């Protein structure tokens, strides 16, 4: 029942802390490792970044993660490294030394998190600037202006370290109970479904990148939780004849290579979902199950006409994602079901997928508007279009009026008024702190114009970040 | 050994930072019996407090709960005026106003107890909007005026006149370490407070006021902050005072650490401004008269707003001589959190105002803005007097701008951008420059003083303490370099200790970019005092005059006789010579009459110039900064590595203020952007990929510490180049409409500005 992990090389068996204690709280107040900082407790600043490792061939593969959002029960069976685990006595680890020598610290509060992100980045060796920024997207620094940190990253990636030899990870267990909480982590789908059916009141946890906020910010635990993270059947990505099947518990990080290979535009979007810290834990199934109106993958799933597999006591059923999403954070999932997998149909010959996310900041931001378009153009005619938007309605939604207005028409630049009228029929967006309804309407219409340029005018620059 | 000053040296805590061993307040081992505090905040922007019932909270085991009625001293911690309570008294004036506080053995228990505090309110009408509050005549302090000449006559006689308006938003400091204080009661009502504060003395005073104690009974200490940027000047006092109040009642240590959302909701930010102007000028673009109105949204109380507005008015000239000027500052009261100090302290808003004017004039006349600016730069007498009466004696702006042009080749750069725009219908590029002149010294003359304490031990190691605080800016290493240089010893022989009101009293805030100017000089004076005494002892031993004794390379020498610095210190001790000294420094030459707003408030000016290139997406309003070139005057830099970090960091922070950082409130007056998930500061990719900073290396003409210049704030304003460059890109869009782009230039505002200009570049 104890939660077992290896922390900075030492075996830990934690039997008394509540399983929904955040890893950050655990490290700071129980393990007295105060190098890991709380900057925001919402997974956005990265001051709490730690490394989570797993055996990968001969070595350990480390991933950066936000300790503030992680529940202690998620550490079961893991290798954990904090900033205190890098230096050998007084001898700094190369990452620490290079960052210090680059004048990459000022107030130093974000530094341990940045050290950990760079430590994880460095294991992959050579990295271009885009990769470096991607690795740092989950770490905010308010002092330096980042230039010295990026310099340090370049220097480190030019001199990769040998992979650390694999360490035996402790055997995870299927149940953790302490302090009045019970967290269940079944390792197969049958058990998961059975537990779900027995405990419809339990919280179903995948990566906890959203639910973790309840523990982190509201400081409320989960008295009964069921985790999908060890369910082997939900952790595969397979290329099947009729589409790419992505298990519900596949993390963004693990799914990225296969998804990006099949759908480059989807891959590019995934690289902008949260940060690497978030993508190490967040899952495709979790994003769908949360059914947020700004869930970044959802418009893409809709544009691809993806299906979702729901597993329950009576077996599994497939349905269209469009039917699965029923409203604001509501879905067609029955209380005794779990999301098992997604099937992403491949693009047909001649089809293109374009995905654009608008937000105040390029990285690690929630979408203001997200548009996904699957189009086929032949002889200047828009033969077919599947268009879906996030941030425009109570749920991610297909733009049926827009599709109707454009399908089969000559794919010249459609009159802006026609696009706007169609989108007005499709959506009545809200104003919030991200943007006004007027901006959302205008930007959505303009993304259709961007689509025209992307498909017809490859000579025209259409994205500032592509410059 | 080369000199340890005017050379790069790492931040003194760099190794501790990267290893995770640097202790911030929340990392300190907790004293036995420590309680954790939680604030109870007002849910209303304006309401009368009808009743506060703490009984249910107090009934929980180990819980203390306090409200205004529990203040044994005076419930007032105003830094400038009076009537600013630590805990709301009778009335709440913003959503997030701390009304009560509880402490309990664990944080979760404290949160549960806080939820049991019952407060009854009677809602009152609230002013949530700057315009509305202006119309209502609401003020936190009297309006201010800086000016000279007959502006109305100058405007009437000017060949050209234009008026305009622009608004700029506030900014959350977003220091990564939130506000925190730990109060530890001592014997005889003494209170020791560990506070993440830029102003230990003000925290000391605030705690003493609230507890009704003499200042001498309160000690405030701070080793380091995880960032501050002005946000831990007056705001830290609130946290320290409430922590101490809880500790006083609990008779136990109390830690009060604000979670990020509470921190953002309860503590102040940069002031949003509405700027209006009426400017008269001739056909060559020479300004004749300027009537400028700066309306500052001060929030619910004055706090530091009078000083912020004063600095805004004293920087609305920037580098330009304006013969007739009337700059009015309106200190508008709204029912929002009290706005406060933030890097630049009003100067960014003042400079944004004048640059908006200059840009409008340039567009009106069809002149390149650089030409227009040059025509208006301060020059020889009589064109060298600021509107507040200070003579600009050290003007190097023309050289700084020329240096920038030489490095960046603006003409070629502009040609490249024009060529790009000629073939790019959707993405438009823009380029703009920004010169700055920034006055260094606190406007309030009294604050321009500092103390330091230096001890030399008999092994030659040196203990350094001063009134400045380390918030990441590298103050401690700079001052240590100055002391090491004075003694001719390696830098690592100097240990800097935590700032404490018990070691150096009556200090000024570490603010106004003055940290190393003031504390460096105080420490230098103390070190020179000790060095003089040691020279006397060593000279006597060597049989040479004291003035022939040289301190260098870790040795104290005269001719071929030499002792190590440690041997010399031991010798002085044996001779019963004091090896400790307190240094005191006050900035010379300065004076400022607050009533007339005339005088010489600034010891000197520092100068800089930047050019920035942006790309704007005219379909979505997305913006990216592609390149920035900066030339910054640092005098003879004490530490070029630290100064470079300050320049880069300030520029990026300014870029955030003007682009992605947007504070939004709900219609009910609650801050909607309460964390990094909704409030977006720049990330690493938002920094220009081509970012070049050049530090001018030339001595300050004034006798500052080793002829260096202040650097903390000035470069923030160089980021106005980014905002102007976005406007330049929008101006490249076909159309005749005006450029109306408030700050921050979010995608939404940019898209609106493009539409106002005449639609999308790509139409057709």
Strand order in the sheet with B47-53: B91-92, B47-53, B118-123
> Residue A137 and residue B685: Cβ atoms within 8 Å?
yes
For residue B276, which of B294, B288, B298, B296 has the smallest C-alpha distance? Answer: B294
Find the CB nearest A145 among B107, B687, B752: B687
Q: What is the DSSP string of A66-114?
A: ETTT-BGGGGTT-EEE-GGGTSBTTB--HHHHHHHHTT--SS-SSHHHH
Residue B647 shares a structural domain with residue B759 = yes
Nearest CA in chain B to A153: B684
Q: Is residue B12 part of a domain?
A: no
Report d(CA A275, CA B446) in Å as an integer: 48
Chain B residue whose CA is closest to A437: B748
CA nearest to A209, candidates A68, A360, A45: A68
The pLDDT score that the predictor gives to residue B761 is 44
Helices (H) and strands (E) in chain A, counts: 16, 20
**B639: nearest CA partner in chain A:** A103
**Chain A residues within 8 A of B21 when measuring between CB atoms:** 35
Does B644 sit within 8 Å of A103, measured CB to CB? yes
pLDDT-above-70 percentage for chain A: 99
What are the residues facing A382 on neighbouring strands?
A377
Percent of chain A exceeding pLDDT 90 equals 92
Residue B35, strand partner residues: B254
Given A320, A346, A372, which residue is the final one in a domain?
A346
Quote the minimal CA–CA distance from A73 to chain B in Å.
Answer: 20
pLDDT over 60 (residue A456): yes
Closest-CA residue to A178 (of A72, A28, A29): A72
Q: How many CB pairs under 8 A join A and B?
A: 275
Put simply, the answer to whether B747 touches A106 (Cβ < 8 Å) is no
Whether B300 and B397 map to the same domain: the answer is no
Residue B564: Cβ within 10 Å count: 16
CATH of the domain at B537: 3.30.365.10
Q: Are residues A418 and A274 in the same domain?
A: no
Catalytic positions of B: 713
Same domain, A324 and A369: no
Whether A357 and A418 map to the same domain: the answer is: yes
What is the rounded CA–CA span in Å between residue A283 and residue B349? 44
Q: Which of B683, B690, B726 to mutate to test the interface with A (most CBs of A within 10 A)?
A: B683
Select from B13, B19, B196, B754 the residue whose CB has the most chain A CBs within 10 Å, as the one to mutate to test that interface. B19
Last residue of a domain, one of A127, A151, A172: A172
pLDDT at B1: 54
Q: Is residue B157 part of a domain?
A: yes
Inter-chain touch B676–A42, beta carbons under 8 Å: yes
Q: Which residue of B261, B645, B653 is in closest CB contact with A148?
A: B645
Residues B165 and B67 in one domain: no
Q: At B154, list the tokens.
A: 């100058």
What span, in angstroms and rounded, lies between the C-alpha atoms of A321 and A117?
34
Question: Does the beta-carbon distance from A449 to B619 stay under 8 Å?
Answer: yes
Looking at the fold, whether B314 and B283 belong to one and the same domain comes out as yes
**Dist. CA A422–CA B596, nearest whole Å:** 62
Are both A140 and A87 inside the same structural domain?
yes
- The answer to whether B309 and B331 have CB atoms below 8 angstroms apart is yes
What does the pLDDT look like over A396-406, one tens digit per residue?
999 999 999 99
Q: How far apart are CA A309 and CA A382, in angstroms?
A: 31
Q: What is the domain-level CATH number for residue A57?
A: 3.10.20.30
Domain boundary among A142, A172, A202: A172
Residue A57: CB atoms within 10 Å: 8
Same domain, B274 and B398: no
Residues of chain A with C-beta less than 8 angstroms from the C-beta of B641: 103
Whether residue A132 lies inside any domain: the answer is yes
In the numeric block, which tokens belong to residue A195? Answer: 């537990």
Query: Residue B687: inside a domain, yes or no?
Result: yes
- Round to whole Å and give the CA distance between B384 and B15: 47
B260–A39 CB contact, under 8 Å: yes
Chain B residue with the nearest C-alpha to that of A138: B683
**Domain co-membership, B155 together with B297:** yes
Same domain, A185 and A112: no
pLDDT of residue A414: 64
> Do A262 and A408 belong together in one domain?
no
CA distance B84 to B267: 13
B116 belongs to a structural domain: yes
Shortest Cα distance from A146 to chain B (angstroms)?
5
Are B669 and B128 spatial neighbours (Cβ–Cβ below 8 Å)? yes
Cα B553 from Cα B555, distance rounded (Å): 5
Residue B351 belongs to a domain: yes
CB contact (8 A) between residue B619 and residue A107: no
The reply to whether A136 and A197 lie within a common domain is no
- A244 and A371 belong to one structural domain: no
The CA distance from B155 to B289, in Å, is 5
**Domain boundary at B388, B414, B434, which?**
B388
Q: Is residue A318 part of a domain?
A: yes
Q: How far is B146 from B328, CA to CA, in rounded Å?
A: 7
In whole angstroms, what is the distance from residue B144 CA to residue B85 CA? Answer: 25
Same domain, B87 and B227: yes
CB distance B683–A112 less than 8 Å? no
Of A43, A133, A142, the CB nearest to B227: A142
Q: Judge whether A466 lies within some domain.
A: no
Q: Do A450 and B23 touch (CB under 8 A)?
A: no
Q: Which chain A residues have a beta carbon less than 8 Å from that of B198?
A: none
B616 CB neighbours in chain A (<8 A) are 464
Pair B63, B149 in one domain: no
Report, as an integer, the average pLDDT of A410-421.
Answer: 83
**Are A157 and A211 in the same domain?**
no
The minimal CB distance from B626 to the residues A141, A362, A467 is found for: A467
B454 and B563 inside one domain: yes
- Cis peptide leading into A106, omega within 30 of 0? no
Element (H, E) at B611: strand B604-617
Query: Is residue A35 located within the same domain as residue A123?
Result: yes
**Which of A39, A132, A145, A358 to probe the B interface (max B CBs under 10 A)?**
A145
Q: What is the spatial distance between Cα B468 and Cα B499, in angstroms, rounded to a whole number?
A: 7
| Cβ contact A133–B684 (<8 Å) | yes
- φ/ψ region of B585 (left if φ > 0, alpha if ψ in -120 to 50, else beta) reads beta
Q: State which of B370, B388, B406 marks the end of a domain.
A: B388
Q: Going along B539-596, which residue ranges are E strands? A: 550-552, 555-558, 561-564, 580-586, 591-593
Confidence label for A161 from pLDDT (cuts 50, 70 and 90): confident
Q: What residues in A contact B750, CB-CB < 8 Å?
A: none
* Residue A467 falls inside a structural domain: no
Q: Do B130 and B275 touch, CB atoms closer than 8 A?
A: no
pLDDT tens digits, A166-218: 888 899 999 999 999 999 999 999 999 999 999 999 999 999 999 999 999 99
pLDDT at B660: 97
pLDDT category of residue A164 using cuts at 50, 70 and 90: confident
Strand A10-14 with B598-600, pairing: unpaired
B52 with B138, same domain: the answer is: no
3-state secondary structure of A301: helix
The residue range of the domain holding B744 is 393-442+602-764
Domain that includes residue A109, residue range: 1-172
Tell me if B559 is assigned to some domain. yes
Q: Which 8-state DSSP code applies to residue B380?
A: S
A260 Cα to chain B: minimum distance (Å): 21
Task: Evaluate whether residue A465 is within a structural domain.
Answer: no
DSSP B517: I
The pairing of strands A10-14 and A3-7 is antiparallel
Note whether residue B205 is domain-resident.
yes
* Candidates A37, A41, A106, A369, partner chain B, best to mutate (most B CBs within 10 A): A106
Predicted pLDDT at B554: 97
Domain shared by B631 and B742, yes or no = yes
B511: Cβ–Cβ under 8 A, 6 or more apart, which residues? B198, B199, B230, B233, B341, B345, B442
- Is the domain of A331 the same as that of A230? yes
Contact B8 A103 (CB under 8 A): yes
Identity of the residue in A111, A217, A434 whose CB atom sits nearest the CB atom of B18: A111
Is A36 in the same domain as A51? yes
Using CA atoms of B538, B543, B545, B551 in order, give the dihedral in degrees to the nearest 10: -30
Considering Cα of B95, then B99, then B105, then B108, what sign does the dihedral take? Answer: negative
Between CA B633 and CA B618 the distance in angstroms is 36
Over chain A, what is the mean pLDDT?
95
Say which DSSP state A380 is in: T
Give B39 or A158, the one with higher predicted confidence: B39
Please list every residue in chain A whose beta carbon sits closer than 8 Å to the beta carbon of residue B762: 449, 453, 460
| Count of domains for chain A | 3
CB-count burial class (<10 Å; 0-12, 13-18, 19+) for A315:
exposed
Angle of CA points B140, B297, B42, to nearest 5°: 75
Q: What is the CATH number of the domain that holds A274?
A: 3.30.465.10
Judge whether A188 lies within some domain: yes
Nearest chain A residue (CA) to B690: A147
Mean pLDDT value across residues A365-393: 96
User: Structural domain tally of chain B?
Assistant: 4
* Each residue's pLDDT tens digit, B398-450: 999 999 999 999 999 999 999 999 999 999 999 999 999 999 999 999 999 99
Q: Is residue A36 part of a domain?
A: yes
CATH of the domain at A440: 3.30.390.50
What average pLDDT does the segment A229-251 reach? 97
Separation CA A156–CA A161 (nearest Å): 9
ipTM above 0.85, yes or no: yes
| Residue in B closest to A357 by C-alpha | B620
Q: Give the model's pLDDT for residue B228.
A: 98
Out of A40, A97, A360, the one facing B662 most closely (by C-beta) is A360
Residue B400 and residue B522 in one domain? no
Q: In angstroms, rounded to a whole number, what is the distance separating the alpha carbons of residues B305 and B311?
A: 10
Is A9 among the domain residues? yes
Domain C-terminal end among B233, B258, B283: B258
Best residue in B8, B12, B15, B17 to probe A by mutation, most A CBs within 10 Å? B17
Give a yes or no: residue B1 inside a domain: no
- Strand B35-41, strand B254-257: pairing: parallel
| Interface touch A34/B23, C-beta < 8 Å | yes
Q: Is B687's CB within 8 Å of A432's CB?
A: no
Q: Which residues of B touch A34 (CB under 8 A)?
A: 20, 23, 26-27
CA nearest to B661 within chain A: A360
Positions of chain B with pLDDT lower than 50, given as ranges? 761-764
Question: What is the reported pLDDT for A162?
Answer: 77
Give the other-Cβ count within 10 Å of B627's Cβ.
Answer: 18
- For residue B659, the chain A residue with the least C-alpha distance is A360
């Amino acid at each position: 029942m104890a939660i077992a992990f290896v922390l900075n090389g030492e075996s830990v068996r934690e039997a008394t802390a509540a399983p929904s204690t955040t890893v950050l709280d655990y490290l700071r107040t129980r393990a007295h490792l105060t190098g890991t900082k709380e900057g925001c407790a919402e997974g956005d600043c990265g001051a709490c970044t730690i490394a989570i490792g797993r055996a990968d061939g001969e070595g350990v593969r480390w991933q950066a993660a936000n300790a503030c959002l992680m529940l202690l029960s998620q550490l079961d069976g893991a290798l954990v490294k904090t900033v205190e685990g890098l230096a050998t006595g007084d001898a700094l680890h190369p990452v620490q030394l290079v960052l210090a020598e680059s004048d990459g610290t000022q107030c130093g509060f974000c530094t341990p998190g940045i050290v950990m992100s760079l430590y994880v980045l460095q294991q992959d060796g050579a990295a271009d600037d885009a990769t470096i920024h991607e690795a740092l997207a989950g770490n905010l620094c308010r002092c330096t202006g980042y230039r010295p940190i990026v310099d340090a990253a370049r220097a480190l990636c030019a001199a990769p370290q040998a992979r650390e030899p694999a360490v035996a990870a402790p055997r995870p267990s299927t149940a953790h109970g302490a302090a009045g909480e019970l967290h269940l982590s079944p390792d197969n789908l049958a058990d998961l479904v059975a537990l779900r059916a027995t405990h419809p009141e339990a919280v179903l946890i995948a990566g906890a990148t959203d639910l973790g906020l309840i523990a982190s910010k509201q400081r409320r635990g989960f008295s009964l939780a069921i985790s999908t993270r060890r369910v082997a059947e939900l952790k595969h990505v397979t290329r099947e004849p009729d589409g790419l099947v992505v298990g519900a518990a596949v993390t963004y990080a693990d799914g990225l290579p296969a998804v990006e290979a099949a759908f480059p535009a989807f891959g590019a979007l995934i690289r902008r979902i949260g940060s690497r810290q978030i993508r190490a834990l967040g899952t495709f199934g979790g994003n769908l199950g949360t059914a947020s109106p700004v869930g970044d993958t959802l418009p893409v799933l809709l544009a691809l006409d993806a299906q979702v597999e729901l597993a329950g006591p009576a077996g599994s059923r497939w349905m269209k994602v469009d039917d699965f999403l029923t409203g604001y954070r509501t879905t067609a999932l029955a209380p005794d079901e779990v999301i098992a997998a997604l099937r992403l149909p491949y693009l047909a010959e001649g089809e293109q997928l374009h995905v654009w996310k608008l937000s105040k900041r390029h990285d690690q931001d929630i979408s203001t508007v997200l548009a996904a378009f699957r189009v086929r153009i032949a002889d200047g005619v828009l033969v077919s279009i599947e268009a879906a938007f996030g941030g425009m309605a109570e749920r991610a939604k297909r733009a049926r009026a827009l599709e109707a207005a454009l399908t089969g028409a000559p794919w010249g630049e459609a009159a802006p008024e026609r696009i706007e009228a169609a989108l007005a029929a499709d959506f009545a967006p809200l104003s919030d702190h991200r943007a006004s309804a007027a901006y959302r309407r205008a930007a959505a219409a303009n993304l259709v114009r961007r689509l025209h340029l992307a498909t017809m005018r490859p000579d025209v620059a259409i994205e500032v970040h592509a410059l | 050994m080369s000199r340890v000053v005017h050379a790069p040296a790492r931040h003194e805590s760099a190794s501790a930072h990267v290893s995770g061993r640097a202790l911030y307040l929340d990392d300190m081992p907790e004293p036995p019996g420590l309680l954790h505090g939680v604030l109870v905040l007002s849910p209303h922007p304006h309401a009368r407090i009808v009743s506060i019932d703490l009984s249910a909270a107090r009934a929980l085991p180990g819980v203390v709960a306090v409200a205004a009625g529990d203040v044994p001293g005076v419930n007032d911690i105003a830094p400038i005026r009076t009537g600013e309570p630590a805990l709301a008294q009778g009335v709440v004036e913003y959503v997030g106003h701390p009304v009560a506080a509880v402490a309990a053995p664990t944080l979760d228990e404290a949160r549960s107890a806080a939820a049991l505090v019952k407060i009854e309110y009677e809602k009152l009408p609230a002013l949530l909007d700057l315009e509305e509050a202006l119309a209502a005549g609401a003020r936190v302090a009297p309006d201010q005026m800086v000016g000279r000449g007959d502006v109305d006559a100058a405007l009437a006689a000017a060949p050209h006149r234009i008026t305009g308006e622009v608004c700029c938003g506030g900014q959350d400091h977003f220091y990564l370490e939130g506000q925190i204080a730990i109060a530890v009661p001592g014997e005889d009502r003494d209170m020791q407070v560990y506070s993440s504060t830029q102003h230990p003395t003000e925290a000391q005073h605030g705690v003493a006021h609230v507890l009704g104690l003499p200042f001498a009974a309160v000690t405030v200490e701070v080793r380091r902050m995880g960032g501050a940027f002005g946000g831990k000047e007056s705001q830290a006092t609130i946290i320290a005072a409430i922590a101490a109040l809880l500790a006083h009642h609990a008779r136990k240590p109390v830690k009060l650490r604000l979670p990020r959302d509470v921190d953002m909701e309860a503590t102040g930010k940069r002031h949003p401004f509405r700027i209006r102007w009426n400017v008269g000028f001739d056909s060559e673009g020479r300004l004749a008269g300027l009537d400028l109105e700066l309306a500052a949204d001060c929030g619910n109380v004055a706090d530091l707003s009078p000083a912020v507005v004063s600095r805004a008015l004293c920087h609305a000239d920037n580098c330009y001589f304006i013969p007739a000027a009337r700059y009015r500052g309106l200190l508008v009261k709204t029912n929002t959190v009290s706005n406060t100090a933030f890097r630049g302290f009003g100067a960014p808003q003042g400079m944004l105002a004048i640059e908006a004017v200059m840009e409008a004039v340039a567009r009106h006349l069809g002149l390149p803005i650089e030409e227009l600016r040059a025509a208006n730069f301060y020059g020889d007498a009589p064109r060298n007097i600021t509107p507040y009466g200070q003579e600009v004696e050290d003007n190097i702006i023309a050289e700084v701008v020329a240096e920038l042009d030489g490095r960046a080749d603006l003409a070629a750069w502009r040609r490249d951008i024009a060529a790009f725009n000629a073939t790019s219908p959707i993405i438009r590029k823009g380029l703009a420059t920004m010169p700055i002149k920034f006055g260094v010294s606190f406007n309030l003359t009294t604050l321009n003083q500092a103390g330091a304490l230096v001890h030399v031990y008999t092994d030659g190691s040196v203990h350094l303490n001063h009134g400045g605080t380390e918030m990441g800016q590298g103050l401690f290493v700079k001052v240590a370099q100055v002391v090491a240089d004075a003694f001719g010893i390696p830098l690592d022989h100097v240990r800097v200790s935590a700032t404490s009101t018990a070691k150096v009293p009556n200090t000024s805030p570490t603010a106004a970019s003055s940290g190393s100017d003031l504390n460096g000089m105080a420490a230098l004076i103390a070190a020179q005092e000790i060095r003089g005494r040691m020279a006397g002892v060593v000279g006597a031993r060597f049989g040479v005059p004291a003035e022939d004794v040289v301190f260098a390379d870790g040795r104290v020498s005269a001719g071929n006789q030499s002792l190590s610095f440690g041997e010399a210190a031991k010798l002085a001790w044996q001779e019963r010579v004091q090896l400790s000294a307190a240094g005191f420094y006050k900035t010379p030459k300065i004076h400022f009459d607050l009533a007339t707003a005339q005088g010489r408030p600034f010891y000197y000016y520092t100068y800089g110039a930047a050019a920035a290139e942006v790309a704007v997406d005219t379909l979505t309003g997305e913006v990216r900064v592609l390149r920035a070139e900066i030339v910054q005057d640092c005098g003879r830099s004490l530490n070029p590595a630290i100064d470079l970090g300050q320049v880069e960091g300030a520029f990026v922070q300014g870029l955030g203020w003007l682009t992605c950082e947007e504070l939004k409130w709900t219609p009910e007056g609650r801050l909607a952007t309460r964390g990094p998930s909704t409030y977006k500061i720049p990330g690493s990719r938002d920094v220009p990929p081509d970012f070049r900073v050049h530090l001018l290396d030339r001595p300050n003409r004034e006798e500052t510490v080793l002829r260096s210049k202040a650097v903390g704030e000035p470069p923030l304003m160089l980021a106005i180049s980014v905002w102007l460059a976005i406007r330049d890109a929008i101006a490249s869009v076909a159309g005749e409409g005006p450029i109306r782009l408030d700050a921050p230039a979010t995608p939404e505002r940019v898209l609106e500005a493009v539409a106002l200009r005449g639609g999308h570049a790509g139409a057709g």
